[in-house]
């Protein structure tokens, strides 16, 4: 082992030993320490923000669904009222013509 390049060996040993990962970890730790936030606190804050955003999205979807359901119920109510008014007008026409309308028995699934 006469001709040994000491610099090449040193670079190979440091590079294969994961010096880059160690330096990155040290730099990240120093940055967190200077910011005054530990890694766990930062991760927890990010989790809370994600949970909050997800809750807002669920609330928005629920509100939109409730609005659609309310609009559907309003349309059904308006339709039912229109049918009742039409039936009342037809009944009045029958009575004016001297015809007594026959009362029908309520359906089994209808409430009295």
Q: What does the pLDDT look like over 30-42, one tens digit per residue?
A: 776 666 666 677 7
| Prediction pTM value | 0.46
Q: Is 100 left (phi over 0), alpha (psi -120 to 50) or beta?
A: beta
Task: Collect contacts of 101-105 with beta carbons under 8 A, ≥24 apart.
Answer: none
**Domain regions of the chain by residue span:** 1-36
Confidence of residue 51 (pLDDT cuts 50, 70, 90): very high
Task: List, in order, residues 6 or more apart from 95 with CB less than 8 Å away.
Answer: 101
Look at residue 80 in the predicted model and tell me its pLDDT.
97
For residue 20, what pLDDT is reported?
Answer: 64
């Amino acid at each position: 082992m006469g001709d040994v390049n000491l610099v090449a060996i040193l670079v190979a040993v440091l590079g294969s030993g994961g010096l880059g990962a160690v330096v990155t970890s040290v730099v990240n730790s120093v940055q967190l320490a200077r910011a005054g936030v530990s890694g766990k606190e930062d991760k927890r804050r990010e989790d809370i923000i994600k949970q909050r955003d997800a809750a807002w999205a669920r609330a928005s979807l629920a509100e939109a669904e409730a609005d659609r359901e309310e609009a559907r119920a309003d349309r059904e109510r308006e339709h039912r009222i229109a049918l009742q008014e039409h039936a009342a007008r037809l009944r009045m026409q029958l009575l004016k013509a001297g015809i007594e309308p026959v009362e029908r028995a309520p359906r089994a699934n209808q409430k009295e």
